Amino acid sequence: MTRVGVIGAGGRMGSLVCRAVEDDAGLELVATLHRGDPLDLLTGNGAEVAVDFTVPEVVRDNVMWCVENGVHVVVGTSGLSSNDLGDIERATRSSAARVLVAPNFALGAVLMMVFAQRAARYFGRAEIIERHHDRKLDAPSGTALRTATLMAGERAGMAAPIERAEAAASARGDDAGGVRIHSLRLPGSVAHQEVLFGGEGETLTIRHDSLDRASFMPGVLLGLKKVGSLDGLTVGLEHLLDLG
């Protein structure tokens, strides 16, 4: 049985994770950390793996502490920069701890990203529309940025890069590797994304909707059970799935 600590246990996602861990026969919830609680509650209670659902301002320090103290960590908080990820990867080289950073834990969202990556080689233009609840702190979302990164990487060395449309920047969203991202923040939303491809005489839309935060729990539980078998730092839940 894997002993789990939840950092950010009082939040919307953290409280759901606590219940999901308690309901899973292969996991044991041994530590719940709320705002202001010291991280050494994890090691003091024998946590083997921690899951972080906090805020961007503290997630890097939380992950680095876990790595330095030999605690595997699954990260669901947005806000880690490429420099942060580089620091974390280097820290894992001298630690037994493993780190999984997942921009999205919904299995359908992971498949959406993988399908968009594979479709990117066949279309010259693509844009992303992502919609989340109005309390989400970051925009574009981590899911949208990860999707754009995967799409851009798929096209490297193949056809010409995805074209950038010239228009007023204020009306055209953010640019991530030639893929425009449009972010909506509205009450009543949870997590929604469309990837739209355009070609000669056709369009392709790949869409995923999380209608309830419960959709993230299977991916979180999978990450908690598998993170210890990974190498160093892993970004993306797709690496834990058998996608062929």
- Which is the catalytic residue, given 132, 182, 208, 226? 132
DSSP symbols for 77-111: -S---HHHHHHHHHHHTTSS--EEE-S---HHHHH
Which residue of the set 34, 72, 136, 225 is catalytic? 136
Q: How far apart are CA 110 and CA 224, in angstroms?
A: 17
- What DSSP string runs through 5-57? EEETTTSHHHHHHHHHHHT-TTEEEEEEE-TT--THHHHHTT-SEEEE-S-HH
What CA–CA distance (Å, rounded) separates 219 from 223?
6
In whole angstroms, what is the distance from residue 182 CA to residue 16 CA? 28
Is 136 among the residues known to form the active site? yes
Rounded Cα distance between 6 and 230, Å, is: 20
Contact, 33 vs 42, CB < 8 A? Answer: yes
Residue 132 appears among annotated catalytic residues: yes
Q: Structure tokens of 131? A: 């919609």
Question: Is residue 30 within 8 Å of 45, Cβ to Cβ?
Answer: yes
Taking a C-beta distance cutoff of 8 angstroms, is the pair 106, 141 a contact?
no
> What does the alpha-carbon distance between residue 57 and residue 40 come to, in Å, rounded to a whole number?
19
Residues noted as catalytic = 132, 136
